[in-house]
Structure 1
Amino acid sequence: MTQYRIDDAHSTLVLEETASLPRIAYFGPRLPDGEDLGQFLLSTALDLNGGMLDELAPLTLCPVGDGHFMGQPGLVIAGLVPRFRAHVAASGAELTVTARDEALGITYRAEIALDGVLALQAVVESDAPIRLEWLCAPVLPVAPGQDEIVEFSGRWVGELHQHRHRFAPGARLREARQGRSGQENPPFALTCTPGASATRGEVTSYAYGWPGGHRMLAEELPCGRRQVQFGHVHGSNGMGTRFETGVLTVARSGAGFNDAAVVLQAHVRDRLVPWVRPNRPVHYNCWEAVYFQHDLPTLSDMADRAARIGAERFVLDDGWFKGRNNDKSSLGDWSIDRQKWPHGLKPLIDKVKSLGMTFGLWVEPEMVNPDSDLYRAHPDWALGRADQVTGRYQLVLDLGRQEVRDYLFAAISKVLAENDIDYLKWDHNRLLPVLDAAQGRGVMDLMARLREAHPGVEIESCASGGGRIDYGILTQTTRVWLSDCIDALERVRMQATASLFLPAAVVGSHVGAFHAHTTGRNLPMELRAWVAAMRHMGFESDLTAFTPAEEALLTEVTAWYKANRDWMHAGEIRQLESEPGRTGEIQIAKDGARFVAFAVQTDMPEAQLPLPLRLTGLEPTARYRVTLRNPGTAPGPSRGPVALKTQSLTLSGQALMAQGLALPLSWPATLYVIEGTRL
């Protein structure tokens, strides 16, 4: 059989033809240029055992239930089992596989590209309508030795929990049936060698790009081979003539989770996101300050305070449109509430602009309240059954219908055209009553139309917090809202996990109230401010409740963020391996000339004294000047000769990574900020 090879600087993929569809025979560290692929593949041929068929079925790009391959199929068409004959076309670092079953009139196409990341996408087309039950992106076999899989789950205000377990015989299904990328089963996974950590072990990272309901299947076959499939549900009845998956983006590392993470961070930042302004402005969002109670004097005062602290964008959240005094009415009626805003939004926008800030607005276009003019006029526009249970007192509009998208485009475009608005916080608070790919395609189309009509407007993806974060929605948005929980200790955990797939520049992180609204925990300003400054910074609180000392500290940290965001957001995030109760990360400039490390004490330490904080990702032979920015954080019992409390140090990268830095004692809910400059 013919083999095809594509490479980038660090990896090689080998594709081998079979009697049906090709298979990915290898994806791993780059092979030598002269590697004999015929000999290489002979060395991987597996034996047969008793009780098996007389020929081992290949694990192809799209296994079908043809009676030969006995595992989970990657393509299921009601009543049909295609028998494909394939052709492979190679162009540079890209492969296109086209396969056809002439008798059934069905074509399968796979696109494979390798350039830093591996991108995989599949399309099925039929001459006549078919009922598609399942189609996955091209299948990548799990690399030998990667015996563990890391999955993710969550809930509202509790996103991105990690679950790590060993593969076991059989298939494991994780499915997001809520119609969003989902807190419950976000579209990410990793496979790894046992014991892999931030800096050690072999890792493969998977990110599926689709904003609607999706499915991940991980299977260990009886013969020991393993596969991972990602795809999405295509419709309530699945009928059609053309179906395509989202893009499955894959990164690999031979040196722990960090190396795969920084590849994906760069891919999102440099290729996926449609930047309007890469320099990420400091946000002030008024939601937790006023909720639905809008009035010009109060919000003007908040704008004064936000600008004084250093905000550069003022975001008016929910409650600005006609009749919207709580969450029970008015979604769908996207016109300005003239009772709250008799002169429109212009007086507030003018105030915000006079303070040197731009203006942003909250919207939830995909939703409708039964108590709304829109629903009373068009009840048939709601997705799902007429007698369905509401969610947060609302229904979902059917964005698969052109007239619905046209209405929403016109309504929101009118608000944007008549007001100086540069940002939309785009929310999505109702789970979908039915799964249909048309809804995902519809929202992407609506966002694209609005961006084309208003090219200066950025869009943030928010869905009950982190309910729609994926590599599909990021092709239309410049920011994601990680969670409605802005408790800084919770955010430290979430932000660390998100860094496996997302760069700092796209992750919104805000300074909340002293008494967190979603956890009831009281946290000091120093922690709240610095945790927000670790990502795309903002504040979201009643600023009148800040003490003068808190406002001064937040002003200082905001100024630090502004001075450093350019290099931080163009660089990389690596997690540090820390002792229990402490979470650490380092952000390193793209040219390696500077870094900042954060050591957050989340719980009471187990040991009497903290272990040295070992850094990572530095040049071993380079020398760095290292400074502890906030030595005053050290608690009263800290009375030892820790050098960083009183002076800077000059150390090699090797010393910082091998031995690390001794830090002062720390109490829970405190952190240290260590800055480094390469000499």
Structure 2
Amino acid sequence: MQTWRLDDSAQTIVVAAINNNMAFVAYWGAVLPEHEDVNQLVKAQVRDLTGGMIDQNAPVSLCPVEGNAFSGMPALIASDAMGTALMPRFTLQHACYNKQALELIYNDVDLGLTYKASISLAIDGLWQLSSNLQSVDDIQVHWLAAPVLPVADKTPRALEFGGRWCGEFRLTESSFGPSALVRENRTGRSGHEHFPGLMTASQGANYCQGDVYAWHYGWSGGHKMVAEQLPDGRRQVQFGHVSHSYRGMAKTFSSAKQYVAFSAHGINGVSVPLQKYVREELLPRDLLQKPRPVHYNCWEAIYFDHDVELLQDLASRAASLGAERFVLDDGWFGQRDDDTTALGDWDLDLRKYPQGLTPLIDHIESLGMGFGLWFEPEMVSENSQLYRAHPEWVLGHATQTLGRQQLVLNMALAPVQEYLYDKVNQMLANNAIEYIKWDHNRVLPFADVSQTQAVYNLLARLRSVFPHVEIESCSSGGGRIDYGILQHTQRVWLSDSNDALERLRIQHHAATFLPAIITGSHVGPRCCHTSGRVHSMNFRAWVAAQRHMGMEMDPRELTAAEASQLLSVVKWWKQQRSWLLAADILRLDSGDEAVLAEQHLAANGEQFVVFAGVADSSEQISPRPLPLTGLDAQALYEIDLVNRDELVNLSRGEMAIKVDTLTLSGSYLMNYGVTLPWQFPNAMWVLKGKRL
């Protein structure tokens, strides 16, 4: 027997291989003592046999395969050139190991297959795993999972994220049972419907306590997840590219990186390293060293009605409200007067911009703002010069159903790559553009690994030539958000919904995986264009201030009072952003289901902000105390209600927090909590805390 132990400050992973067979994870959980005998541990976790079972349990290995009576989902399904199913018997050939990385190489000489499993520390508290398969002959791979991990018996709750357009990151809960929980996302993108993540949790676990395990599959091209309980009670989780998306025969296949974390301290315990990994490992380091600019996006002000003088006026108004970057959205190119035409014709529309973009950009820069531009390079309209010239560039057959009145370009074709690179390169080289909103507004006709990899390659190529240009991943809002696309982009548009109430919930759940610094959130119009709801300016502004703040409405509609309220919140956000966007987002366990609350805790623990969103009417009359988290129990904290000017007349009690700062211990704040004033629904309390 061979064993390998991997440790960080939060967890221990023990991997074992017996008789050079495929290795398995014998333990994954809280940190074990250094003197733990892992050989004894492996022997101790063997389960008993009884009637109706074969004579030895096939392990839930890193790559369970068919052929040895494994009763669960195989991690590899492949066939040879004749269509015959391959059932490999892998033998360990080589192990490369240190305490923070393990690489195991297996082969099957008869089938000519080599399998590699890699496990390494991504950042303290977070591990990354990937698998690779190589074949001597061309084969077809139908399914290849990243290295498979077992599910702890003490975490029977499966928490996953579904949703829809303008309603992303809806948290749903299931229990393990005799049927596998299988999610197969065939949209060709991460998807509004199926975010590639999962948590399993112990009974009673919440944001601040309990055992929680997390998985995230960093791939933008559609994924498959299997969360399965075997007949003997053991459980496994598999993630990989959606089945049958490796198109055609090949000799080499790889999974994306799968990120995993364990915490004995609730969901926040896995969220913190996930957020930190994005901030500190995926983002370019220079991005963290300069202030994140307040955005203004003109889409919901003008749609396709572009006029230079009007845009200059909007820019002036946005600058007066504190905006620092102006983003010109859809409608600037080709003959793009509505959403049925011109995608693919990435030349400036001289009807709308007879002197080019220079007059607009010069005006924007004179206001102290940078300029950003919208693209949707992966798509093409039937009514476009590009489609008429190259119908063969379309992904899928000629009679396919349109999506959002558009088709998808086959990004794996070299001429398509060159055409798009040249067009985007031309705009970036000839104009002062610091930001791209890169959109992706329909599902693919089918999932294709080469399509996704080609998108990554194009983004990487552009970033290498224009490293100063920041790129946002947008896909009808949150349709393409994952750690794969974030290898190449520096911001995500979380949802097309600017409804502050809906946004409050979306942001809250997305914080499981996403830090504030890359999560765009904008102040929408008074009447939300996607829900029809009307919210106060204060509520809209504070919800946007929870993340990377921006505006996306027509500033001409603002009353003087609304403009003043918005400017006040923007100024506050600018004063805090240097530490706020690098803070950990800790969700709070509110005793009131109507309150969605989170605490943004500075990296040094010296200050924090609590955003307590009142999303509905409470069951009880008076607000319940809101316990905080992550503080030093022995320290004293000065807390202050930032927006006490939003007190309403129905809040009649005499409360110290309404008129003054309070000094309270971390122990009190975490064990009892902060008692906030009564407030109408669709409002936000903002509390600032400072360690004394």
If the length of structure 1 is used for normalisation, what is the TM-score?
Answer: 0.99
280, 283, 294: which one aligns with 1:273: 283
Q: Is the 8 A contact 2:141 2:246 kept in 1?
A: no
Alpha-carbon separation, structure 1, partners of 2:570 and 2:18: 58
Q: Deviations over 1:480-526 (max 9, x none)?
A: 11100010010110000011111000100000011011110010000
Matched, 1:245 2:251: no
Amino acid at match of 1:673: V
Q: Residues 255, 66 of structure 1: CA spacing in aligned structure 2 closer, same or farther, 3 A cutoff? A: same
Please report how far the alpha carbon of residue 327 of structure 1 lies from its aligned counterpart in structure 2 after TM superposition.
0.5
Taking the TM superposition and a 5 Å limit, the aligned residue runs for 1:122-161 are 122-161=131-170
Partner of 2:89: 83
Amino acid at match of 1:69: F
Which runs of 5 or more structure 2 residues have no equivalent in the other structure?
Answer: 80-84
SS at match of 2:180: strand
Alpha-carbon separation, structure 1, partners of 2:182 and 2:113: 27
Alpha-carbon separation, structure 1, partners of 2:271 and 2:420: 37
Taking the TM superposition and a 5 Å limit, the aligned residue runs for 1:355-434 are 355-434=367-446
Partner of 2:107: 100
Matched, 1:225 2:234: yes
Q: Is the 8 A contact 1:141 1:228 kept in 2?
A: yes
SS at match of 2:316: helix
Amino acid at match of 2:146: A
173, 189, 193: which one aligns with 1:180: 189
Alpha-carbon separation, structure 1, partners of 2:436 and 2:349: 18
Amino acid at match of 1:374: L
Partner of 1:647: 660
487, 503, 514: which one aligns with 1:491: 503
SS at match of 2:657: helix
Please report how far the alpha carbon of residue 429 of structure 1 lies from its aligned counterpart in structure 2 after TM superposition.
0.6
Alpha-carbon separation, structure 1, partners of 2:438 and 2:556: 27
Alpha-carbon separation, structure 1, partners of 2:160 and 2:425: 39
Amino acid at match of 1:4: W
Amino acid at match of 2:283: V
Kindly report structure 1 stretches of 4+ aligned residues shifted beyond 3 Å.
233-238
Q: Is the 8 A contact 1:18 1:58 kept in 2?
A: no
Which runs of 5 or more structure 1 residues have no equivalent in the other structure?
Answer: none
Please report how far the alpha carbon of residue 274 of structure 1 lies from its aligned counterpart in structure 2 after TM superposition.
3.1
Alpha-carbon separation, structure 2, partners of 1:276 and 1:410: 27
593, 615, 619: which one aligns with 1:606: 619
Q: Deviations over 1:351-383 (max 9, x none)?
A: 100100000000000000011111111100000
Partner of 1:323: 335
170, 177, 192: which one aligns with 2:201: 192
Q: Is the 8 A contact 1:181 1:467 kept in 2?
A: yes
Alpha-carbon separation, structure 1, partners of 2:252 and 2:283: 27
SS at match of 1:259: helix
449, 470, 476: which one aligns with 1:458: 470
Matched, 1:530 2:539: no
Matched, 1:113 2:123: no
Alpha-carbon separation, structure 1, partners of 2:247 and 2:87: 18
Partner of 1:568: 580
SS at match of 2:86: coil
Please report how far the alpha carbon of residue 273 of structure 1 lies from its aligned counterpart in structure 2 after TM superposition.
2.4
Matched, 1:214 2:223: yes
Please report how far the alpha carbon of residue 236 of structure 1 lies from its aligned counterpart in structure 2 after TM superposition.
6.1
Matched, 1:13 2:13: yes
Please report how far the alpha carbon of residue 275 of structure 1 lies from its aligned counterpart in structure 2 after TM superposition.
5.0
If the length of structure 2 is used for normalisation, what is the TM-score?
Answer: 0.97
Matched, 1:63 2:64: yes
SS at match of 2:105: strand
Matched, 1:46 2:47: yes
422, 433, 438: which one aligns with 2:450: 438
Stretch moving more, 84-93 or 49-58: 84-93
Alpha-carbon separation, structure 1, partners of 2:38 and 2:672: 43
662, 670, 680: which one aligns with 1:657: 670
Please report how far the alpha carbon of residue 10 of structure 1 lies from its aligned counterpart in structure 2 after TM superposition.
2.2
Q: Deviations over 1:626-675 (max 9, x none)?
A: 00011122221211111110010001111111111111111111111100
SS at match of 2:199: strand
Alpha-carbon separation, structure 2, partners of 1:423 and 1:205: 32
Among all aligned residue pairs of Structure 1 and Structure 2, give the percentage whose two residues are the same amino acid: 49
RMSD: 1.0
Alpha-carbon separation, structure 2, partners of 1:124 and 1:318: 42
SS at match of 1:570: coil
Amino acid at match of 2:450: A
Alpha-carbon separation, structure 1, partners of 2:210 and 2:34: 25
Alpha-carbon separation, structure 2, partners of 1:391 and 1:138: 35
Please report how far the alpha carbon of residue 238 of structure 1 lies from its aligned counterpart in structure 2 after TM superposition.
4.1
Alpha-carbon separation, structure 2, partners of 1:256 and 1:238: 43
Stretch moving more, 625-634 or 299-308: 625-634
Q: Is the 8 A contact 2:10 2:263 kept in 1?
A: no
Alpha-carbon separation, structure 1, partners of 2:518 and 2:50: 51
Please report how far the alpha carbon of residue 237 of structure 1 lies from its aligned counterpart in structure 2 after TM superposition.
3.7
Alpha-carbon separation, structure 2, partners of 1:649 and 1:669: 26
Amino acid at match of 1:105: G
Q: Deviations over 1:417-474 (max 9, x none)?
A: 0000011000001110011100110100000000011111011000011000001001
Q: Deviations over 1:80-115 (max 9, x none)?
A: 111111132203410001011111111111110134
SS at match of 2:142: strand
Alpha-carbon separation, structure 2, partners of 1:401 and 1:489: 43
Alpha-carbon separation, structure 2, partners of 1:193 and 1:11: 16
Q: Is the 8 A contact 1:274 1:476 kept in 2?
A: no
Matched, 1:511 2:523: yes
Amino acid at match of 1:542: D
SS at match of 1:583: strand
Q: Residues 236, 387 of structure 1: CA spacing in aligned structure 2 closer, same or farther, 3 A cutoff? A: farther
Matched, 1:168 2:159: no
Alpha-carbon separation, structure 1, partners of 2:78 and 2:101: 28
Amino acid at match of 2:108: D
SS at match of 2:581: helix
Q: Is the 8 A contact 1:85 1:101 kept in 2?
A: yes
Alpha-carbon separation, structure 2, partners of 1:70 and 1:599: 47
Stretch moving more, 572-581 or 269-278: 269-278
Alpha-carbon separation, structure 2, partners of 1:216 and 1:273: 27
Please report how far the alpha carbon of residue 152 of structure 1 lies from its aligned counterpart in structure 2 after TM superposition.
1.1
Amino acid at match of 1:98: I
Amino acid at match of 2:302: V
Please report how far the alpha carbon of residue 170 of structure 1 lies from its aligned counterpart in structure 2 after TM superposition.
2.8
Alpha-carbon separation, structure 1, partners of 2:96 and 2:35: 21
Amino acid at match of 1:18: I
Matched, 1:235 2:241: no
SS at match of 2:287: coil
Q: Is the 8 A contact 1:633 1:671 kept in 2?
A: no
Alpha-carbon separation, structure 1, partners of 2:13 and 2:639: 41
